[in-house]
Amino acid sequence: MTASTKQDAPSGEAVANAPVGRPRQSRHDAVTAVLPGWLRVVVLTLLVAAVTIPVGYILVASFMPDVDVANGQIVPDEITTQNYVRMWSTVDLAGGLANSLVVSGIVAIISAMIATITAYCLVRFAFRGRLTILRGLVALQSLPGTLLLLPIFVLFSSARTYLDITIIGTRFGLIVTYLTFALPFSTWVMVTYLRGLPRELEEAAMLDGCSPIGVLRRVVVPLSWPGIVVAAVFAFLLGWNDVLFASVMTRPETETVAVALQVFGLSQEGGAIPLYGQLMSSALVCALPVVVLYMIFQRYLVGGLTAGGVK
């Protein structure tokens, strides 16, 4: 080493005494710096309380006698499980659960399948009217469901007159109704997700001899499970939580669990001893499938909802 090199090289003491730059602020610190620490604690506490207190009361009330719940008691004098036994004979909860599972499950599967195929065509192929379809998918989300209730009912009622096909009061009619609202949202979710997939994987599969259908089945679908799960779960929730269309499009044999709960709740108004304990237990049982669904597909939901957020 030459003398000039030794002179230019900084000594260990100089390096140790050199001023240290300000550490880079992490993303978490940048986000949490918006609110002071004490205010964040207050806001989070209020949000958690707003969610847990009503659910906690429903859980406690489901183990209380109907008289205690009707009297407005918060702390139970006795704990009973009879509400979970009697509710099955008080309201047709089993039939409603079966109808909701069948209708919502079929809507989720069909919606996810059609949305995946449609989104693949919209993202990977250029054709006339492509942008119009994409804009139409967004515009359809702004239409309120109550605005379409009467036209859909009249259209399905006319099918009985002109085509001799009964749609009103059947599960088929409810499935078609829910697909009307689930498909635009599911398709847009898949469009957003497929835009983030690299084209090189599909081009490599085509070089190996895959057709567009083969690429969709062997490459796109296995890589798109988070987006497919998001589309299917939201379509399932649309059918599970709906009361408006289900109350008009069904009859007692095909009514969903949401309609059964609504009828059960309305029947308790003005009663001698309202069966509020059974109503609380019925609500928890009806919410259980959705909770289990979220727990099973939680990691897919997070990945699918955040897809396309960072480019």
Give percent of the chain with pLDDT exceeding 70: 83
- Give the rounded percent of residues in the chain with a pLDDT score beyond 90: 19
Amino acid at 150: L
What pLDDT does 225 receive?
87
Q: Return the pLDDT at 14.
A: 47
280 found inside a domain? yes
The predicted pLDDT at position 50 comes to 92
* 55 found inside a domain: no
In a domain, 81, yes or no: no
Name the domain count of the chain.
Answer: 1
| CATH number of 98's domain | 1.10.3720.10
Q: Which residues contact 252 (CB under 8 A, 6 or more apart)?
A: 92
Instruction: Say if residue 11's pLDDT is above 80.
Output: no
77 pLDDT above the threshold of 90 = no
If one compares 140 and 9, the residue with the highest pLDDT of the two is 140
Instruction: Find out whether 224 and 123 touch, Cβ atoms under 8 Å.
Output: no
List the domain range (segments joined by +) for residue 101: 93-305
- Indicate the pLDDT class of residue 267, thresholds 50, 70 and 90: confident
pLDDT at 306: 57
Looking at residue 107, its pLDDT comes to 95
Q: What was the pLDDT predicted at 305?
A: 56
Identify residue 117 by its one-letter amino acid code. Answer: I
**pTM beyond 0.85:** no
**What pLDDT score does 66 carry?**
81
- pLDDT at residue 162 above 90? no
Mean pLDDT confidence for 236-253: 90
Tell me, yes or no, whether 3 lies in a domain.
no
* Domain presence at residue 175: yes
101 or 127: which leads in pLDDT: 101
CA distance 56 to 52: 6
Q: What is the pLDDT of residue 270?
A: 60
Tell me the per-residue pLDDT of 198-234, one tens digit each, with 9 for 90 and over. Answer: 888 888 888 888 888 888 888 888 888 888 988 999 8
Q: Is the pLDDT of residue 236 over 60?
A: yes
- Report yes or no on 28 lying in a domain: no
Asked if the structure places residue 263 within a domain, the reply is yes
Q: Look up residue 307 and give its DSSP letter.
A: T
Mean pLDDT (whole number) for 84-89: 89
Task: Provide the pLDDT confidence category of residue 5 given band limits of 50, 70 and 90.
Answer: very low
Q: pLDDT tens digit string along 272-297?
A: 567 888 889 999 999 998 888 888 88
Instruction: Give the pLDDT of residue 277.
Output: 87
- The pLDDT value recorded for residue 310 is 45
What is d(CA 158, CA 174) in angstroms, rounded to the nearest whole number?
Answer: 16
Whether residue 193 lies inside any domain: the answer is: yes
Q: Does residue 30 surpass a pLDDT of 60?
A: no
3-state per-residue secondary structure call for 226-289: HHHHHHHHHHHHHHHHCCHHHHHHCCCCCCCHHHHHHHHHHHCCCCCCCCHHHHHHHHHHHHHH
pLDDT of residue 4 exceeding 50: no
Which pLDDT does position 20 carry in this prediction?
47
Average pLDDT of the chain?
82
Q: In sequence order, what are the residues at sequence separation of 6 or more whose Cβ sits closer than 8 angstroms to the Cβ of residue 145?
A: 181, 244, 245
Compare 287 and 12 and report the one with higher pLDDT. 287
